[in-house]
Amino acid sequence: MLLSVGILTVLIPRRVGHLVDQLVQGQLDQSVILQELGILLLMGIVIYFLRVGWRMQLFVASYQLGVHLRTELYKRLCLQGPDFFQQQRTGDLMALGTNDADAIELAAGEAMLAGFDGTMTLLMVLGMMLLGVDWRLTLIALLPFPFMAIAFKKITQEVHDASHQALTCFSQLNDQVQESIAGVRTVRALGLEARNATHFAALAEQAADASLRAQRWEAAYEPAVGLALTSAGFLTLSLGGYLVWHAQMSIGSLTSFTMYLGQLIWPMFAAGWVLSIIERGRAAWKRLGPILSLPLTIEDKGTITAAPQGRVEFDGVHFAYSEQAKAALQGVSLSLQQGQTVGLVGPTGAGKSTLIRLLLRQYTAAQGSIRWGQHQLDKYKLDNLRGHISWVAQEPFLFSASVSANIALGKPDATQADIEQAAQLASVHEDILRFPQGYDTPVGERGVTLSGGQRQRVAIARALLTNSPLLLLDDALSAVDTGTQTSILQHLRGARVGRSVLIVSHRLSAVADADHIVVLRDGKIIEQGSHAELVEQNGWYASQWRYQQLEESLDEL
C-alpha cells in the first residue's frame, strides 16, 4: 500500500507539468481539462484510503509490540526473586512499563511509519527530479542538504542524551510519589510533609527541565529543515528561471520540479521527527532492555508437575545472602513428616525466616539439599511447588479488593460458605461482620483499613481456604493477642489433619502444642524436641518460656 502511495504521489506533479505545457501550447479543450482534473482527484482519493490502510496495519503492529513489552516485563518481574527487588526501585520499574514502553512503542509505530514513508518518497522524488525533469536543477537543489545532515547529527546526539535524562528523572519522580503515598502515615506522624513537598518539587523541576531540554533540541530540527529547503528553493528558481528564459526548459517542467521540491518538505521534516522519536525509543530501550535480559534470580528448570507428597527434609543446608555476609544457616538438618506440626523458634536473626524462604524457593541453598517426598525441591516446576504451599508472612499483603475477594484469592471458585468457614477458623469472622459492608467491605490499598491483627487473620483464612498440603506460618500471629492466638491454634488443630504445618514464632505459646520444636540460633540448631523435653533441658527454650509466662502473668494483672 505504501509503495502504491509513493508511485501515485510522484506521478501527480508529472501529470500537472504535462497539463501546464499543453495549456501553454493551447492543445487542451474543456473536456480534456475536466478529465485530467478528475484523474488527479481520483488519484488523491486513492492515496487517502491507501494511507489510512497502511497506517492502521502498522499502528496495530506497534500497539501489539507495546502489549508484548509490558507483558514480558510483568512476567519477568513475577519470576524474579527477592534479590532482584532489593536492587530495584518500585517507581523505576513502574516507569519502565509506562513511559519507557510508550517511547519504544512510538518508535516502532510513528517512527517506522514516517521513516519508511519519508525515505521512499525522498528516493522516488529525487529519481523523478534527476531522471524525469532536469539533472542540473536536481544537483543544485541538493547543495544545502549536506549542511542539514551535519546539523541533524549534532541535534540527534543531544536529543538522545536529553531523552535518557528525562526518562531517568521521571523514574526518580515516580519513586518519590510511590514512597510518599506508601509511607503517608509515617510522613504525617513525623511532620515531614513540608520537607517531602520541597523534595518532590525539586524532583519535578528536574524532570521538567530535562524534558524541556529534549523538546528544545527536537525543535531545532525544524529550522534546519526550513533553512535547507529555503536555500534549495532559491537555488532552484534562480537556475530554473535562467533555463526557461533561454528556452532550455519548459514552464511545465519547472512547475513539475517546483512541485517535486515541495514534496521534499515531508521527507525532510519526517527525518527530523523520526530521529527524535527513535532517540527517545533508544534511550528507553537502554533502560528496559537490560531488565528484560537479566537472568532470573531463581531458575525454574524443574519438570515435575505432580503434587508433592511425603515428608519435607532439610539435610545439611548452608546459606548466606551474599558471599561476604555471615552464613544465615549453617548445616541445618530437620524433618517435617506429612501431617506433622513443627515449631521453629529462636532469637531474632537466627535464620527462621530464611529457612521458610528456602522452602518457598525464593533463594537456593549454597550447600546441602531440601527434599519434599522423593524429589529435590528444584525438580518441581516452580508454580507447581508454590501452588501446594500456603504461606502466611508476618506482614501479609492484601489487595485493594473486598475482604471476601482477599480470602478467596487462592481459590476464586470458593463459595461464600467456604469463605466464612475459613474466616471462622482464623477467628476473624466476627470482626468482618462488624464491618460496614461485611464480607463485601473494601480493605483499601495493602489492607490499610484493617488493623495489623485483622490483616494477619484474613491472610490465615486465605491460607486455610486453599487447603494446601503444606502450611507455613512465619510469625503470622505476632499482631494478635494471646486469647485470639489460642483460639486460632485450637481451630488449626482440627483443620490441619493430614496437612504438614511449620510454625515460626517468637511467642513460644504458639508452638507449645507442636509435635516437634526446633530452636535455631546463629543459623544452627541448638535444641530440638517436644515442649516438655525442651523445658526439662533447661536451655534457651526453657529460659524464654519462663520469661514469657511471667510476662503474660504480669500483663494480666
Decide if 8 is inside a domain: yes
Cα–Cα distance, 163 to 141 (Å, whole number): 33
Decide if 440 is inside a domain: no
Which residues have CB under 8 Å from 244's CB, separation 6+? 250, 251, 254
Residue 496 confidence class, pLDDT cut points 50, 70, 90: low
pLDDT of residue 171: 78
Mean pLDDT within 380-387: 87
Cα–Cα distance, 395 to 456 (Å, whole number): 7
Cα–Cα distance, 157 to 147 (Å, whole number): 16
Q: How many residues does the chain have?
A: 557
Residue 211, C-alpha cell as written in the block: 524534558
pLDDT of residue 344: 92
Mean pLDDT within 498-515: 86
Decide if 520 is inside a domain: no
Place of cell 510483568: 74
* pLDDT tens, residue by residue, 166-215: 878 877 887 777 777 777 777 777 777 788 888 888 888 888 888 888 88
Which of 242, 384, 376 has its CA nearest to residue 312? Answer: 376
Residue 130, C-alpha cell as written in the block: 534527476
Mean pLDDT within 390-411: 86
Give the torsion sign (CA, 222, 223, 224, 226): positive
Domain of 104, CATH number, reads 1.20.1560.10
The per-residue pLDDT of the chain, averaged, comes to 81
Residue 209: give the domain boundaries: 2-293
CB–CB of 129/141 below 8 Å? yes
* pLDDT tens, residue by residue, 18-74: 677 677 666 667 777 787 788 888 888 888 888 888 777 777 888 888 899 999 999
Decide if 327 is inside a domain: no
Cα–Cα separations (whole angstroms), residue 217 to 158, 204, 281, 350: 7, 20, 16, 57
- Please measure the distance between the N-terminal and C-terminal CA atoms of the chain and give it in whole angstroms: 87
Q: Is the whole model's pTM more than 0.85, yes or no?
A: no
DSSP 366: S
pLDDT of residue 323: 67
Q: What is the chain's alpha carbon radius of gyration, rounded to the nearest angstrom?
A: 36
pLDDT of residue 413: 86
Decide if 260 is inside a domain: yes
Decide if 248 is inside a domain: yes
Place of cell 485493594: 400
pLDDT of residue 21: 67
Decide if 208 is inside a domain: yes
Out of 143-147, 242-246, 289-293, 486-490, least confident range: 242-246
Residue 294 confidence class, pLDDT cut points 50, 70, 90: confident
Which of 389, 349, 358 has its CA nearest to residue 376? Answer: 358
How many structural domains are present in the chain? 1
Given a cut of 70, whether residue 557 has pLDDT beyond it is: no
Out of 186-195, 346-355, 404-413, least confident range: 186-195
Cα–Cα distance, 13 to 478 (Å, whole number): 82
Decide if 68 is inside a domain: yes
* 250 Rama class: left (phi>0) / alpha (psi -120 to 50) / beta: beta
Long-range contacts of 322-329, Cβ-Cβ distance < 8 Å, separation of 24 or more: 326/523, 327/523, 328/354, 328/523, 329/354, 329/355, 329/358, 329/365, 329/523
* pLDDT tens, residue by residue, 75-132: 888 888 777 887 888 778 888 888 888 888 888 887 877 777 777 777 777 777 776 6
